[in-house]
Homo-oligomer: A and B are copies of this chain.
C-alpha cells in the first residue's frame, strides 16, 4: 500500500506542478502580459488544461485510486485520496467533447456578454446563456447529485455544501437584512463621503497600502503586490502568493480596501501547511472559507472604528493636506456608508448580501427550470425593487452586470455570503478567546488576529471541510446570528437606530 500511495502522491504533485504553471500564466495575463499576447496565451492555457485532464484521468491513476480506496487510509492520506477521487470522478464522467464544447461556449458567450453589456442588450446574450445553461445542466446530470440539481453546481465551489442547508441560512439572513436596510434608509443620516473624494496621489496610496500590508504580516519574501483591472489574489504555493489592487487618484479607500481584502486571501494561502504543499490536504477548504478570510480583514477589521483609531493618524502622515481636520468618527462613518445601489461590486457591507441573495435565488430557479432565461431581466428588476427599493434603468446596470454566468460560474455567488457568515462567526470566537483583540487593533496590532487565524484555520489546510472547520473552531455549526448581530450593532450605532 505504501508504494501505491507514494506513486499516487507523485502523480498528484505533478498535477499541482501543472496547476502552478496554469496559475502563473493566468496571473501574468491579468498583470504584465502585453495586449497582443492574449492569443498565444489562450492556446498555451488550453493545452495545459488538456494535459491536466488527461493526466487526472490517466488509467494508471484511476487504478491507483481504486487500489487505495480498497485499503483503509487514515488522516492526511484519506483526505488526499478523497479529494483526488472527487476531481477524477467528475473528470471521468464528462466526455472530452463536452469539455471542449463547454470551454468554447464559455469563451464565445463571454465575448457576447461583453458586447451585450456595452449595448445593454439582453436579447443578444440570451441564446448564449441558454446554451451555456443547457451544457452545464448536462454536466450536472452526468456528474450526478442528490436532491436539487443546484447541489451539483454548488459543490464545485463549496465542497459538501447543500442547498438544503444553505438556502434556509440565506433566507434567515434576508429576514434580518431587509428591516436593517429600511431602518438605515429611514434614519436619513448621510455621512460626509466627500472626504474620500479628493486628489490622493497614487504613489502615496501605494506606500500607505504597503505599510498596512506589512503590519498585517503579509510576507513579501513569499509574495507580491501588483496592479490589475480587477483586484485578485493568486497563489501557486505558500511560498509565492500574489495580490493585486487598482488605484484611483480621486478615491482614497477603494485601493486600500482592495489590498486588505486580497491580503486576507493571501494570508490564508501563506499560512497553509507547507510540508504537504502540492497535495489536496495542503490546499484551502472552499471558496466560502477563503472569502471569510478576506471579508473578516476587509470589513470587520479594516472598516472598524478601532482600526482607524490607529491608522487615521498614520494615513494623515501620507496625506496631510487632504485629511486636515478629518476626525476618526467622520472617517469611520464615511467608509461605512450604507445606501441601496445597483452594482454589486460597489455595494456596502449591509446591502451586499441582498445582491447575492437575488442572484442565488435566480440561478437556483434557472437550473431547476422553474424560470426561463427569457424571464430573467424582469425577475431581476422585480427583486431589486423588493430587496433594495430601486429599479435598474437598463440591463447593463441590472441582469448583465456580472461576468460570472457568462463564463459558466453558476453556483458561485452564494459563497460570497457564506464567506460573510463564516467571517462573523470566526470573528466572534476570536473576540471571545481574546477579549482585548480590538483594543490591540486600536493600537495597530494586527498580528494577534493573524496568529489566531493561522492556528485555527490556515495551518489546518483541507483536513476539515467547511462545516467541520466552523464546528471545530467555534464549537457550533454555521449560524446567521453572528453576522446579523455584527451588522445590527455596528450600523445601529452608526445610524442611531437604537
Contacts and interface: CB of A to CB of B under 8 A. Distances in A.
Interface string A320-347: 0000000000000000000000000000
Contact of A40 (B34, B44, B51, B236): B236
Per assembly, the copies of the chain total 2
Given A47-B14, A224-B34, A239 B40 contact: yes
Contacts of A47: 14, 17-18
Nearest to A18: B47
A211 interface: no
A21 B14 contact: no
A498 to B, nearest CB: 47
A240 B34 contact: yes
A58 B33 CA distance: 32
A24 B18 CA distance: 13
B21 A222 contact: no
A319 to B, nearest CB: 23
Nearest to A17: B47
Interface string A276-316: 01100000000000000000000000000000000000000
Interface in A211-237: 219-224, 226, 236-237
B239 A39 contact: yes
B20 A240 contact: no
A372 B224 CA distance: 47
A194 interface: no
A370 interface: no
A221 B36 contact: yes
A33 B239 CA distance: 10
A59 interface: no
Nearest to A38: B239
Contact of A44 (B21, B36, B219): B21
Kindly list the 3 A-B residue pairs having the minimum CB-CB distance in the complex, ordered from nearest: A37-B240, A17-B47, A40-B237
Interface of A: 13-14, 17-18, 20-21, 24-25, 28, 32-37, 39-41, 43-44, 46-48, 50-51, 219-224, 226, 236-237, 239-240, 277-278
